[in-house]
Structure 1
Amino acid sequence: MPRYLVERTFPNGLAIPTNPDGAEACGGVVLRNAEGGVTWVHSYVSPDKRQTFCIYDAPSPEAIRSAAKRSDLPVDKITEVRVLDPYFYH
C-alpha cells in the first residue's frame, strides 16, 4: 500500500488534550480513517502546534482526503513518499 506525507495547517493551533478526551478524539480519527482503508501511522507537530506532518498508508490521496473530511481535518498537501534509511548503505 502506498505511503503518504500529509501536511496540515491549524491556524489556531492543534489542541488535543493528554487525557481520555484526547485519546477518544484520536481513536475516532482512526475509526473514520478505517472506513476508507486509511491508516494513520504517526504525526509530527510543529512547536507552535500550527502545522502537522502526518504519515499515512492509504490506497490513494483521494481516500486520505475523504477520511480527513469525515474527521473535519484540513489537508494542505499530500505527497507520496518512500523510506530512505541511511543505514541501508552500510
Structure 2
Amino acid sequence: MPVFMIERRYADDLELTADDADGVNRINSDESVQWLYSFLSADKRKTYCLYEAPSAEAIRRAAARAGLPADVIVEMTGTLRPDGSLTPM
C-alpha cells in the first residue's frame, strides 16, 4: 500500500483526545486509510503525519469527513538513512 506524508496546518493549537483519535480512525477505516503516526510542531499548529492509503484522494476524503486540514500530501517512495542507504517503501 502506498505511504503518504501529510502536512496539516491548524488555525488554533491542536488538542486531540483519545475519543477524537478514535473518531478519526473510524473514518479512516471507512476510506481504507491507516494513520501510522504524527509529529506535532512546537507551536502545536502543524502536524506531519504518515499514512498508508490507496491514494491521496482517499486521504483527502477522510480528512474532509473528519474536519481536518490536509494542506500538503506527498507520496513517499523510500527512507533515506544517515549512512546514505535507501530503503524502498
Q: TM-score, normalised by structure 1?
A: 0.87
Tell me the secondary structure at the aligned position of residue 14 of structure 2: coil
Which residue number corresponds to residue 79 of structure 2?
83
Question: Cα RMSD (Å) of the superposition?
Answer: 1.3
Q: Which moves more between the two structures, 58-67 or 7-16?
A: 7-16
The amino acid across from 1:4 in the alignment is F
Shift of 1:85: 3.4
Percent identity for Structure 1 against Structure 2: 43
In structure 1, list runs of 5 or more residues that go unmatched: 17-21
The amino acid across from 1:52 in the alignment is T
Q: TM-score, normalised by structure 2?
A: 0.87
Which residue number corresponds to residue 30 of structure 1?
25
Which residue number corresponds to residue 19 of structure 1?
none
Which of 60, 68, 73 is equivalent to 2:55? 60
Shift of 1:12: 1.0
Q: How many residues align?
A: 84
Structure with the bigger percentage of helix: 1
Shift of 1:88: 7.7
Which residue number corresponds to residue 2 of structure 2?
2
Matches within 5 A, 1:12-27: 12-16=12-16, 22-27=17-22
Distance in 1 separating the partners of 2:40 and 2:58? 22
